[in-house]
Amino acid sequence: MPAYLKLDYSDLILLKEKALGLLEDCHLCPRNCGVNRIAGETGYCRTGRKARIASYSPHFGEEAPLTGEYGSGTIFFSYCNLRCSFCQNYDISCNGQGSELEPEQIASIILVLANRYKCHNINFVTPTHVVPQIIEALVLAIEQGLDLPLLYNSSGYDSIETLQLLDGIFDIYMPDFKFWDHKMSEKYCKASDYREVAIEAVREMHRQVGDLVLDDKGIAARGILLRHLVMPNDVSSIENILRFIKNEISMDTYINIMGQYRPCGTANTDKMIGRRLTIKEYQDAILTARKIGLTRLDS
pLDDT of residue 31: 98
Averaged over 284-293, what is the pLDDT?
97
pLDDT of residue 197: 98
Averaged over 106-114, what is the pLDDT?
98
Averaged over 20-32, what is the pLDDT?
98
pLDDT of residue 110: 98
> CB of 153 within 8 A of CB of 166?
no
Statement: residue 299 has pLDDT above 90: no
SS (H, E, C) the chain: CCHHHHCCHHHHHHHHHHHHHHHHHCCCCCCCCCCCCCCCCCCCCCCCCCEEEEEEEEECCCCHHHHCCCCEEEEEECCCCCCCCCCCCHHHHCCCCCEEECHHHHHHHHHHHHHHCCCCCEEEECCHHHHHHHHHHHHHHHHCCCCCCEEEEECCCCCHHHHHHCCCCCCEEEEECCCCCHHHHHHHHCCCCHHHHHHHHHHHHHHHHCECEECCCCCEEEEEEEEEECCHHHCCCHHHHHHHHHHHHCCCCEEEEECCCCCCCCHHHCCCCCCCCCHHHHHHHHHHHHHHCCCCECC
Statement: residue 170 has pLDDT above 80: yes
Write the pLDDT tens digit of every residue in 50-86.
999 999 999 999 999 999 999 999 999 999 999 999 9
Statement: residue 41 has pLDDT above 80: yes
Averaged over 275-299, what is the pLDDT?
95
Averaged over 247-252, what is the pLDDT?
98
pTM over 0.75: yes
How much of the chain exceeds pLDDT 90, in percent? 98
Separation between Cα atoms, residue 126 and residue 139, nearest integer Å: 19
Q: Give the chain's mean pLDDT.
A: 97
pLDDT of residue 258: 97
The domains located in the chain, with CATH, are 3-217 (3.20.20)
Averaged over 87-102, what is the pLDDT?
94
Write the pLDDT tens digit of every residue in 120-140.
999 999 999 999 999 999 999
> CB of 66 within 8 A of CB of 220?
yes
pLDDT of residue 34: 98
